Amino acid sequence: MKRSKQTLLTNKVIQQKVNTLLSKMTLEQKIGQMTQAERMSCTPEQARQYHIGSILSSAGSRPENNHTEGWVAMNEAYWQASSQADESHLGIPTLYGLDAIHGNNNVTGATVFPHNIGLGAANDTDLLQKIATTTAKEVLATGVDWSFAPNLAIARDTHWGRTYESYASKPKPVGKFATEIVKGLQGDLSDDHIMACAKHWVGDGGATYGIDHGDTILSWEEIQKTHIPPFVKAIDTGVLSIMVSFSSWNGDKCHGHKFLLTDILKEKLRFEGIVISDMQGIDYLADDFYLAVAMGVNAGIDMFMVPRNWSMFIDNLISHVQLGTVSIARIDDAVKRILTVKFAFGLFDKPSPANRKWSNHSSFGSFKHREIARKAVQKSLVLLKNENKTLPLDRQAKILVAGKNAHDLGHQCGGFTINWQGVSGNESIQGGTSIWEGISSLAEYASLSNSQGMDANPKHHDFAIVVVGET
């Protein structure tokens, strides 16, 4: 297995800053940094009081004003609360994270790109990097620092309901894409880029029978050959965070797997960034949440996505350290990694979200960005058959466009768009073009069926285009 190295995160100047700050921190302040709370359950004042290291918007969680100005104002409040120091609080900026996995898809009016399965079909690395760079700009427009992307799952069974989040069923193309996406999102870690997060470590796409959160039953040699290589590419490219998988490996949950998290990821692959849990991921380690906290920390997780019960997590972890069931050395390792990433990313030196150059930027959802999305859509299309040279259709033909998804932007965009499972209809998606709208703009004699195609008539129509699909 290739040994990876991240010279940036072993920088002596950064480490000196980290060690100086770490030496000033109380146990409560350290554990606060290990905690990622959800915006709906943690106010800026609470984030300050409990020294919270990160806030997230879970998919579909958004401010009341779901436009860039609403997001920037929200992030500004968390930034100001966390950054100002006094006798009881160290000024450590929070990291704000979200699932911008095919564009900044939580936000109204964002440019939405095809899902990973489509981009894998496009097989264009230059385009992928351009999409990642564009996504970074649209995330920055909201004042956010961190996207939980790319997903590097190797989908081996198409029964898996999250197959659309996977670029390919083989490791080589996924590794190739991982390099370009991390480059596009993170760049040189300047103010023009955001943090990336490779997920989910490891093997979620290989679960038996395609069961989500299931069990990947493979030998070490096979998981090393199939599921780990894309993560090696991401680490080599300098990815600053990796998210743990909900799934299990040979019966053991990845969130409690010290061999996978510490022995392999941190020690053998020499990953020096943040290992973050998935949403409430440690809950499945034990029936007793108190025991689950220690299992996750001792396995090697550094930051815990505990959106609702973050205060319980903090209390429980403080208790474990006091009782000796979690060592202070493990706490210091986790906090050192979190602070290292924050310094390496330049978080301490950045202006507050309201004063950043990309915040509320006019490029958000712009024609230029949407042209990149259109190109991605065109390249991601897969033609299965073209019998008798039916395609391309004559633009002057009388075309009937039918099917429940012919004029439904929500279904066209799929999951992780405005809401976790996506939306139905056209009201929530601003700036998009439905399939019907695209066809009607080019074919003047096209008509949209209002009866699921029951009005098809060879006397009135030359062709029918039927658009099917699921929510």
| Domain layout of the chain by residue ranges | 8-355, 383-466
Residues 6+ apart with CB under 8 A from 3: 268, 269, 270
If 0-12 CB within 10 Å is exposed, 13-18 middle and 19+ buried, where does residue 388 land?
A: exposed
Q: What is the pLDDT of residues 315-327, one digit of tens each?
A: 999 999 999 999 9
d(CA 369, CA 107): 15
- What tokens does 297 get? 């920390």
Q: Which two tokens stand for residue 391?
A: 């395609």
Residue 376 contacts residue 406 (beta carbons within 8 Å): no
Q: Which CATH superfamily is 383-466 part of?
A: Glycoside hydrolase family 3 C-terminal domain (3.40.50.1700)
Residue pointed to by tokens 């991601």: 380
Q: Which amino acid belongs to residue 147?
A: S
Whole-number percent of the chain with pLDDT over 90 = 96
Name the pTM for this structure: 0.96
Q: What is the DSSP letter of 60?
A: T
Q: What is the pLDDT of residues 145-196, one digit of tens each?
A: 999 999 999 999 999 999 999 999 999 999 999 999 999 999 999 999 999 9
* CA separation for the pair 456, 463 (Å, rounded): 9
Q: Is 400 exposed, middle or buried (0-12, 13-18, 19+ CB in 10 A)?
A: buried
Superfamily of domain 8-355: Glycoside hydrolase, family 3, N-terminal domain (3.20.20.300)
Q: CA distances (Å), 195 to each of 8, 95, 166, in order? A: 14, 10, 20
The 10s digit of each residue's pLDDT in 210-250 is: 999 999 999 999 999 999 999 999 999 999 999 999 999 99
Q: What is the chain's length?
A: 471
Q: What is the pLDDT of residues 344-394, one digit of tens each?
A: 999 999 999 999 999 999 999 999 999 999 999 999 999 999 999 999 999
